Amino acid sequence: MAVTKNDVEYVAELARLSFNEEEKVELIGNMNVILGYIDKLNELDTDSVDITVNPYYVENKFREDIVEKSMPLKEVIDNSPQNLEEYIVVPKIIE
Amino acid sequence: MEFETVIGLEVHAELLTDTKIFCSCSTKFQGKANTQVCPVCLGLPGSLPHLNKKVLEYAIKTGLALNCDITKIGRMDRKNYFYADCPKNYQITQDELPICRNGYIDIELPDGKTKRIGIERIHIEEDAGKLLHTKAGTLVDFNRAGVPLIEIVSKPDIRSPYEATLYLQKLKSILFAIGVSDCKMEQGSLRCDGNVSIMPKGSTKFGTRCEMKNLNSFKALEKALNYEIVRHKEVIEEGGIIHQETRRWDEAEGKTYTMRSKEMANDYRYFPEGDLVTLNISDSWIEEIRKTIPELPYQKMERFIKEYKIPEYDAGILTMSLGMADFFEETAKLSKDPKAASNWLMGDISRLLNEDIADISSIKFKPEDLANLITLINSSKISNAIGKTVLEEMYRSGEKPEKVIEDKGLVQNSDEDEILAVVNRILDSNGESIQLYKSGRDRVTGFLIGLVMKETKGKANPKIVNKLMIQEIKKR
Amino acid sequence: MELYKKTAHEIKELIQNKEVKAKEVADTFIKRIKKNNEDLGVFLYVDEEGAKSKAEEVDLKVEKGEKLLGLSGVPIAIKDNINVSGMQNTCASKILSGYRAPYDATVIKNIKTADGVILGKVNLDEFAMGSTTENSGIQLTRNPWDKTKVPGGSSGGSAASVAAMMSPLSIGTDTGGSVRQPASLCGVVGLKPTYGRVSRYGVVAFGSTLDQVGTFARDVEDCALLTETLAGLDKNDFTTADKIVPNYKKSLTQDIRGKRIGIPKEYFGEGLNNDVRKAVDEAILVFKENGAEIIPCSLPLTDYALAAYYIISSAEASSNLARFDGIRYGYRSKEYTDSLGLYTNSRSEGFGKEVKRRIMLGTYVLSAGYYDAYYKKALKVRTLIKNDFLESFKNFDAILSPTSPTTAFNIGEKVNDILAMYLSDVYTVPVNIAGIPAISVPCGISQGLPIGLQLMGNYFDEDTLFNLAYSYEKSTRWHKITFEEGGR
């Protein structure tokens, strides 16, 4: 499965990244090399194999429904790039 | 060309837990924006989610109440997309293994038939923050981010907007009855998205469907669906094609519009959430949860009809609120006259409550008091008409019926001699009415009985008055 | 011997015996950092005030006769992708410039509770993606043994800080070898614990199912001490295991008689530098002499681990790094007219090249139509690799291999050859896929550059690793040779 310029542009939009033409060409090359290497996984027959998500199996971890103190507003706002009092501001979104 | 409508509903309900789904921030909003957040629900670097057990419990409870199979081995997944109200730019949800599957709700159609609407799946997920659009920009408040939601997806079994409202109505009453959500559509704790498509009548292949968001009332649901159906018909009849898209219902304009932002690449790239672990739901936990499910409103209604032999209409009204249903049942049991209990609650008591915009929970008297009132009437101590007066006083002051009757001297008079005397006195002074009666106008006795009742201040036993009036007028 | 040359356990004893004050210790290392950091580029931030203040607290405790806990005033350096409250947490990226951590990672809480003295934050490959620390968006870190060489990565700063004796201990993160490989290239001990042994809460996520916090030290005893401090069940990290943390000190014996060590042929094939091979072969003899049984074996799935690793790690990274969007914290571009622009420009300007490349790869392998072929496939291969190791551990107590196919290479040498760069992880990556623990210990020097050997163990069997590594150490002198004597 060769990666094309369309693929790169589609994926870049999904990932909210932008590249100039030169970078796109390089990316196509990089991705194809890596994906070519990754292709070797097809040598393995995994039809009847289950997936492993957590490398060490743990089940049923839960938290009790008990309220704990939230973060002070100041700490939220201190790290935010733009705020209007207690709100974080982003460019106007049209829905 | 004749068309058939196919509708599916996706309902999101905010769960009534004390804390959010993945962190211990409170779900009860009190103060300013962004004051109920923490590294987890704000998506700060390095934070990890902690699944709230109660959320899972409520989801299983909902599944059981909706006749679903509970998924024994499951997990959480990530749904990846960028949006300003989404702190991590992915939502932790369930994609492949939802906690509940294959349930149903039965709805009662107007023609009396029952229709089964299938439920495809129920899963748990986190809510996003709130956006406030202003001229200065969009303001983001993450207090709501992480609030637990269940998403209930129906099968496309609904065939009309009216059926859709019946489905939603029943779903709402069940969710409310089991206590998992307060189901307030106007406040957003119950949200409904509708999927609608049309196909030629008799066809088995569904048409292209459109999804509608922002339906925040039953009215909006019905109107929006109707609008869409008409729109689809018009497009198809003009030879066009329906595009699969998400549309927003504009209440003011009465139309649906394409939602631009959500149309962008919806490639959510679902994959398992590696920060959380496998869910292995035991049979014993499921049974424990099942035991916490109260009798549901529709089950109560069916039982009332069977057990108390009251009409379906009455049962329906009485089971609309748990408070009302309980009051009825208690009264019915104590008075042994369910029909009377029903009549009082649906009639005078509901009227009084409505006037005061009050709930039955605030009523000043108890079911045993109402039962006593009914017994007093049934044993002819007072008439039904007097009973109404007594009830009003009970409602206002909370006094027991016996005391009201005593204080106001309302005990019914069943002394036949006394009544006979009054009857004859009335007849003596109403010769014209006697003439009318003799000429065949039977109904004039009603007027005369009324006069007797007035004379006795309503205390005369109406049955006896009636008997004696007819007896005496015949003699004249 | 100068104070800065002492190991953590030696320093601990000196402080506990009131032979030296914790403040003096902190001062010594801070002085050393100030002297050498410009040259080596190890530290991104030094918390002089905080370190001295904590050291003074420890001294007060000693004065009062209070018992000192685990780390007892020993200084430690923290990789700058682990949250220390009030400090920067750049992850060596422009996109987190200005960010102040509002909370402590669990491991940091443990360190503070154990009276550890945090010196500051050290350099890494941006978001822990890389094998040389050259991907740092902030500065270059040089290998203390030879300043023209890389220190390895992604925890290059952590490894170098210990190797350069700027700190007796440090912590890093290991997703595909990022603790073991730099430990090997810098001649120090580096452990990646079992997945689930140490909490990831507060550690900026790269690969959620691969990351573990790892420990760097000058010798095995120190490594065991630090690991014990960090390990344990954490309610804030659901992937941590409910297993008690052993007293690792008990494993620090020279007795390894009867221990079975597997030597997998796949790790000794083509691509392995001759000097490295020689050093590791010699090390194997030492184990044999000490009574271990050396058994050749095969791990046939080794080759596929790297492929599975690149799919799983980049897929998870693409999702974990989505939160860096210029909205709630970090760098926000000055150029944007709408939200889409804000996201795209902030991320494109804020992230470095390698990070963007991995996000692209990760997004691609998860995208519609490719999920089954790539991500799901990789998770199935993970099952096979896990089973491969589980089978092996029925017959072996540990598996031995070189940590890295080569010694440290030149700065700038591999930056443009990504496949070559990725292939240098080939010996370390299978461990992360399976989630088993592994340790790297110095076992030789080639042309003034350290060589490391890797021991892989069964789940939660760090004990065996410490035992074998300690025994090897006691029979050799490699861990005692610092860059001052052995380097260029």
Neighbours of C281 (CB within 10 A): 14
Tokens describing residue B176: 């409310």
Burial of C59 (0-12, 13-18, 19+ CB in 10 A): buried
Which among A11, A14, A16, A57 is the top mutation candidate for probing chain B, defined by the most B β-carbons within 10 Å of its own β-carbon?
A: A14
User: Cβ contacts (< 8 Å) between C343 and chain B: which residues?
Assistant: 82
For C288-298, b/e burial (b = at least 16 CB within 10 A) is eebebeeeebe
SS3 C289: helix
pLDDT tens-place string over residues B329-346: 999 999 999 999 999 999
Tokens describing residue C189: 């001990």
Mean pLDDT of chain A: 93
User: Which one, of B418, B427, B430, lies nearest residue B461 by Cα?
Assistant: B418
Chain-chain contact of A44 with C435 (C-beta, under 8 angstroms): no
Residue by residue, DSSP assigns C324-382 as -SSSSSS---S--SSHHHHHHHHHHHHS-HHHHHHHHHHHHHHSTTTTIIIIIHHHHHH
Q: Tell whether the model's pLDDT for residue B266 goes beyond 90.
A: no
User: Cβ contacts (< 8 Å) between C375 and chain B: which residues?
Assistant: 271
CA distance C266 to C270: 9
Residue of A nearest to C309 (CA): A38
Chain-chain contact of A84 with B19 (C-beta, under 8 angstroms): no
CA distance B395 to B363: 7
Give the residue-averaged pLDDT of B183-191.
93
SS3 C151: coil
pLDDT of residue B262: 47
CA distance C236 to C104: 12
Chain-chain contact of C363 with B270 (C-beta, under 8 angstroms): no
Give the residue-averaged pLDDT of A78-82.
92
Residue of B nearest to A53 (CA): B274
First-to-last alpha carbon distance for chain C, in angstroms, is 21
Residue by residue, DSSP assigns B44-60 as -TT-----BHHHHHHHH
Tokens describing residue C434: 């399976």
Prediction pTM value: 0.90
CA distance A9 to B196: 33
CA distance C48 to C58: 15
CA distance B303 to B313: 13
Q: Chains with ≥3 Cβ pairs under 8 A against A? A: B, C
pLDDT of residue B176: 94
CA distance A73 to A58: 35
Which among B22, B34, B38, B44 is the top mutation candidate for probing chain C, defined by the most C β-carbons within 10 Å of its own β-carbon?
A: B44
Q: Residues B404, B409, B411, CA angle at the centre, nearest 5°?
A: 90
Catalytic residues of C: 79, 154, 178
pLDDT-derived band at B246, boundaries 50, 70, 90: confident
pLDDT tens-place string over residues B157-181: 999 999 999 999 999 999 999 999 9
pLDDT of residue B260: 61
pLDDT of residue B251: 87
Q: Number of B to C CB contacts under 8 A, please give it.
A: 94
Phi-psi sector, B70: left (phi>0), alpha (psi -120 to 50), beta? beta
Contact status, residue A57 vs residue B18, Cβ threshold 8 Å: no
Neighbours of B217 (CB within 10 A): 12
Q: Which comes out higher in pLDDT, residue B40 or B252?
A: B40
pLDDT-derived band at A1, boundaries 50, 70, 90: low
Neighbours of B337 (CB within 10 A): 18
Sheet (strand B77-80) strand order: B90-93, B77-80, B271-272
pLDDT of residue C420: 75
Contact status, residue B34 vs residue A76, Cβ threshold 8 Å: yes
Chain-chain contact of A84 with B132 (C-beta, under 8 angstroms): no
Residue of B nearest to C375 (CA): B271
Dihedral angle, C-alpha A41, A42, A48, A53, nearest 10 °: 30
Tokens describing residue B203: 């066809």
Q: Chains with ≥3 Cβ pairs under 8 A against B? A: A, C
Chain A, window 21-50: residues with a beta carbon less than 8 angstroms from a chain B beta carbon: none
Residue spans of alpha helices (H) in C41-179: 48-64, 106-113, 156-163
CA distance C263 to C455: 10
Contact status, residue C253 vs residue C290, Cβ threshold 8 Å: no
Residue of C nearest to B266 (CA): C368
Phi-psi sector, C74: left (phi>0), alpha (psi -120 to 50), beta? beta
Contact C338/B at CB under 8 A: no
Say how many CA atoms lie within 13 Å of B229 toward its Cβ: 20
Residue of B nearest to A72 (CA): B35
pLDDT of residue B263: 45
The DSSP element (H or E) to which C212 belongs, if any, is strand C212-217
Mean pLDDT of chain B: 92
pLDDT of residue B130: 94
Tokens describing residue A95: 């829905």
Say how many CA atoms lie within 13 Å of C193 toward its Cβ: 31
Neighbours of B65 (CB within 10 A): 22
User: Cβ contacts (< 8 Å) between C388 and chain A: which residues?
Assistant: none
pLDDT tens-place string over residues C417-442: 777 777 788 999 999 999 999 999 99
List Cα–Cα distances, B205 to A63, B199, B230, B451, in angstroms: 46, 7, 19, 72
CA distance C403 to C429: 10
CA distance C190 to C197: 15
Q: Chains with ≥3 Cβ pairs under 8 A against C? A: A, B
- Rounded to the nearest angstrom, the gap between the alpha carbon of residue B267 and the centroid of all alpha carbons in its chain is 37
Chain-chain contact of A31 with C419 (C-beta, under 8 angstroms): no
Report CA torsion sign: C146, C152, C158, C159: negative
User: Which one, of C82, C305, C320, C119, lies nearest residue C214 by Cα?
Assistant: C82
Q: Number of A to B CB contacts under 8 A, please give it.
A: 126
List Cα–Cα distances, C102 to A77, B42, C84, C99, C235, in angstroms: 11, 12, 8, 9, 19
Task: Tokens 């106001």: give the residue.
Answer: B408
Q: Do the interacting molecules here have an ipTM over 0.85?
A: yes
| Segments of chain C with pLDDT less than 50 | none
Contact status, residue A63 vs residue B50, Cβ threshold 8 Å: yes
Contact A18/C at CB under 8 A: yes
Contact A88/B at CB under 8 A: yes
Contact status, residue C160 vs residue C184, Cβ threshold 8 Å: no
Q: What is the DSSP letter of B460?
A: B
Measured N-to-C along each axis, helices B444-455 and B431-438 cross at an angle, to the nearest 10 degrees, of: 150
For C66-78, b/e burial (b = at least 16 CB within 10 A) is eebbbbbbbbbbb
Which among B32, B50, B51 has the least Cβ separation from residue A73? B32
